[in-house]
A and B are shown apart, each in its own frame.
Chain A
């Protein structure tokens, strides 16, 4: 069903580095879970609406009124790395 290549692709979509020797382990585990999940294929769902929200709630808004933002000190309090009020990350374009 799923191959090591699929696991690699999914890992890269998920931004997870997986060591080569771990690929077969994850592949086997994912495969057994997917096999179990495949039982849903038995269900007749053609005319069933999907439930993404469990209750039929709608139209929840916020008024367009300004509230205070974080102070600069608060905004940087958890920063891993910072430079002159910015969050600093490794270069995006190499």
Chain B
């Protein structure tokens, strides 16, 4: 088997046995990038870093382009971050470096993580390795596509409303949004600060647990980082689900869901029942409000978070061509008009609107209250359930351009992933089959805050019994 196609734990075994070396692994992955990246467009740029001798985890990793790596360009796939090299590493990068991880390069994404298809990047659209005419999902589409295509052994993404899980689902890989506060956000260029989490995108559940172990932990630089010990997640990789209480929310099985997706997920439910899990029908009554709540809360925060891209200190600066005596306001408006794409502009304006005088109570404050109700739904559900099981997305990967002209339709594709962000709970997507077009289907597992171990043990039991994760995208056209 090709080295680039292996998981991190397989590679570590080969290195331990002397069958290969970190240098050989890095070379194999780089060769794969050279061979296929013009098809996926997963990487925006790559670096030639060499593995450091005798390090604990010298695995080549791809980094979403909204995570700061000292001295390397970071752009959020936007024109506005022209030539910006941060003079600091994100907390997760420090942790990756500490175990000898080899940073391959920066992964494509929706501009500023605004999107569910990776079509809004200033560096071109990302293509799904399973079908190059289809989107890889988003916003971490580059991360999921790279892992699915063997261009990275594993990768980091960020998830504000499903941006790790939905692309993982579309690309047939494993993606986890950790509990809010489990992973430091220091060095992650913020979208919705109260929702954002960095998380792993990997080829299987074992790698996912291992990568989370590397990046998780308390960080004094992030006030929302939680000071709880990080368990050894590898220990939770057991197959036993006997007595596990799994909730099936009726609101997640709705009209509009692709029948093959529903069938695959129901088959997974049948599997768990057979293995001795207790299946419960539950209700999360405020689910229908999640998308509206999210688009208010997230865009409000985003409109403020993106105010710093103003052409003053760093990044792009533009002045209107016609006026020679441009003042500061002209510079601001021209810089931001040219630097941001349309989706970013829409979200900045929406967020500005919901916070503006006269609308704050009707929109923003109301959304924060709706957020309480949605969170209460989940908190209540986790009293009686260990896991909430659902599809990750209503459909498999859609065609490039299919939803690009209808922002609202695009937003609605995040309906199953958004509640986990609003409630801060951990949620993972793992492959659970393929549709008739050969496209991967994703199964989402949510758990109570800091119960990632339950997610891993459940996901591992399913994965080991099915083997979907061993299927690899062929990358042909």
Contacts and interface: CB of A to CB of B under 8 A. Distances in A.
Chain A–chain B contact at Cβ < 8 A:
yes
Interface of A: 2, 6-7, 10-18, 26, 29-30, 32-34, 36-41, 43, 45, 48-55, 57, 60, 62, 70, 74, 77-81, 87, 89-92, 94
Contact of A40 (B292, B328, B372): B292
Contact of A87 (B313, B333, B411): B313
A7 to B, nearest CB: 7
26 contacts: A12-B333, A13-B356, A14-B352, A16-B349, A29-B407, A30-B346, A30-B349, A33-B350, A33-B407, A43-B289, A49-B372, A50-B371, A51-B368, A52-B194, A53-B194, A54-B194, A55-B424, A62-B220, A77-B85, A79-B313, A80-B313, A80-B315, A80-B316, A90-B327, A90-B328, A92-B328
B439 to A, nearest CB: 27
Given A16-B340, A70-B87, A43 B369 contact: yes
Interface string B289-317: 10111011000000100010011111111
B46 interface: no
B83 interface: yes
Contact of B295 (A11, A18, A37, A79): A37
Given A14-B303, A16-B345, A54 B289 contact: no
Dominant SS among interface residues on chain B: helix
B366 interface: yes
A43 B349 contact: no
Contacts of A45: 366, 369-370, 373
Contact of A37 (B296, B334, B365): B296
Interface in B344-403: 345-346, 348-350, 352-354, 356, 362-363, 365-373, 375
Interface residues of B, number: 73
B326 interface: yes
A53 B329 contact: no
Interface of B: 83-87, 180-181, 194, 220, 223-224, 226, 286, 288-289, 291-293, 295-296, 303, 307, 310-317, 319-320, 325-334, 336-337, 340, 345-346, 348-350, 352-354, 356, 362-363, 365-373, 375, 407-408, 411, 422-424, 449
Dominant SS among interface residues on chain A: loop
B340 A10 contact: no
Contacts of A26: 345-346, 349
Contact of B337 (A16, A41, A54): A16
Given A26-B349, A40-B366, A10 B407 contact: no
Nearest to A92: B328
Contact of B223 (A6, A38, A60, A94): A60
B373 A48 contact: yes
> Which of B326, B333, B362 has most A Cβ within 10 Å?
B333
Nearest to A61: B223
Contacts of A37: 292, 295-296, 354, 363
A54 to B, nearest CB: 3
Nearest to B299: A33
Contacts of B85: 77-78
A78 B316 CA distance: 11
B314 A43 contact: no
Given A15-B333, A32-B408, A94-B325, A10 B226 contact: no
A15 B87 contact: no
A2 B352 CA distance: 14
Given A80-B311, A90-B327, A48 B346 contact: no
